[in-house]
Structure 1
Amino acid sequence: MGFLDNLSDMFSDITITKRKRKPMQTVEIKVKMDCDGCVRKVRNSVTSMKGVKSVDVNQKQSKVTVSGYVEPKKVLNKVKSTGKRAEFWPYVQYNLVSYPYAPQAYDKKAPSGYVKNVVQALPNPNAPEERLSILFSDENPNACTIM
């Protein structure tokens, strides 16, 4: 029994490290795709990654949406490995931005309903004159009660 006790002591000191599971993420990437072959090539490259749950390719918007337990940088590198020019999706929906026609936000190349995600398009929370001007605006339904 001396040998077995020694052996069990040796294995009890080894700590088993558990891997942290990556969080579920949705990664949106802008990729220039010209034909159905390009779409298939990008879809197959991303689908083969470990942890990918779903892949949605929209050729008209040049957008690839990947959901799963993946890292955004690895997905971007995998799409770039197909030989396509790719970048993270730089646009936000038009209705989520306060100033969609800010100098750098409006982009003619953006899909319909989207503008670029830039700081100038977002409202400045420290600007009190903007909040006061909204109070007396014609679009505010409660403006009559204030006056």
Structure 2
Amino acid sequence: MANIVEMKVNLHCDECIRKILKAIKKIEDIETYDVDTQLNKVTVTGNVTDEQVIRVLQKVRKTAVKWDQDNQTLSAT
């Protein structure tokens, strides 16, 4: 069964978005991914964990934290 990983990431420019997409595409066993620039939200579905996505984003020098859907704020990781 596919996991849905949602992360809050600072998406302030096209270069950041390009780096994030390139990094996410390298994750094994992903099914879909989406970057929402309005909400600064990255969503990845597939056989992935929060930790895998955070680790990949850290490699491109982006800080990511788990998305809290209830109130759309950050939750501690």
Higher-Rg member (1/2): 1
Greater relative contact order structure (CA < 8 Å, 6+ sep): 2
Aligned length: 75
Q: Which residue of the other structure, out of 21, 25, 44, is the alignment partner of 2:22?
A: 44
Q: Which residue of the other structure, out of 27, 30, 45, is the alignment partner of 2:5?
A: 27
Going from structure 1 to structure 2, the CA distance change for 1:116 and 1:54 (only over 3 Å counts) comes to: same
Going from structure 1 to structure 2, the CA distance change for 1:56 and 1:115 (only over 3 Å counts) comes to: closer
SS in structure 1 of the partner of residue 17 of structure 2: helix
> Unaligned regions of 5+ residues in structure 1, if any?
1-22, 93-113, 119-147
Going from structure 1 to structure 2, the CA distance change for 1:116 and 1:38 (only over 3 Å counts) comes to: closer
Q: Which residue of the other structure, out of 37, 40, 44, is the alignment partner of 1:66?
A: 44
Please list every run of at least 4 consecutive aligned residues from structure 1 whose deviation after the TM superposition is greater than 6 angstroms: none
More strand by share: 2
CA contact (8 A) 1:56 1:66 kept: yes
User: What is the aligned-residue RMSD (CA, Å)?
Assistant: 1.9
Q: Which residue of the other structure, out of 52, 68, 75, is the alignment partner of 1:90?
A: 68
Q: What one-letter code is carried by the residue in structure 1 that aligns with 2:18?
A: R
Compute the TM-score of the two structures, normalised by the length of structure 1: 0.47
CA contact (8 A) 1:55 1:67 kept: yes
Give the deviation of 1:90 after TM superposition. Answer: 2.6
Question: In the alignment, does 2:24 pair up with 1:57?
Answer: no
SS in structure 1 of the partner of residue 52 of structure 2: helix
Compute the TM-score of the two structures, normalised by the length of structure 2: 0.84
